[in-house]
Amino acid sequence: MGNKQEDLEAIVQQENYDIVAVTETLWDDLHDWSAAMGDYKLFRKDRQGRRDGGVDSYVKEPLDSVELELSSDKVECLWTRIRGKANKADILVGVGYRPPNQDDEGDELFYKQLADVSKCPSLVLVGDFNLPDICWELNTAGEEAVKEVPGVYRG
């Protein structure tokens, strides 16, 4: 994030986004970069006890936003509730990162978090989930499913 912060700020300013989600921020205690962006509230979830990873989101002011405390050290997912105005429903935004080598326990904890937040009528989930065995063309998963479609990139 450190060497990309200025680029991110320029893009966000130019495009005037309401919400910005970032995965693999790579922030740690050794690098306390200035991550603030004018007119945006920052929510961060740094990877604990391991290198790389981390997620964050920026929510434009004056949107009323608050982080939900659903954290687990094994799940890199940050949940932010943006309060709806007047009679509008709240929007729940999740930004997640799933390392390619995540174990089944980490996946199950993420699924539990997703089940908890899916009660919200307006849910947006973005991120990098590193699931190379999904074939979006056929809506299938698994090693054999990907082999069925010639030219499908598995990366």
pLDDT at 148: 46
CA–CA separation, 8 and 15 (whole Å): 11
Class of domain 2-147: alpha beta
Asked whether 22 and 128 are in contact (CB, 8 A), the reply is: no
Please, which pLDDT band fits residue 102 given cuts at 50, 70 and 90?
confident
Q: Give strand ranges (E) for 63-122.
A: 65-68, 76-82, 91-97
CA–CA separation, 100 and 61 (whole Å): 34
CA–CA separation, 48 and 41 (whole Å): 22
The SS3 call for residue 111 is helix
pLDDT in tens, 31-72: 555 566 788 898 988 776 666 678 889 999 989 999 998 767
pTM score: 0.76
pLDDT at 120: 85
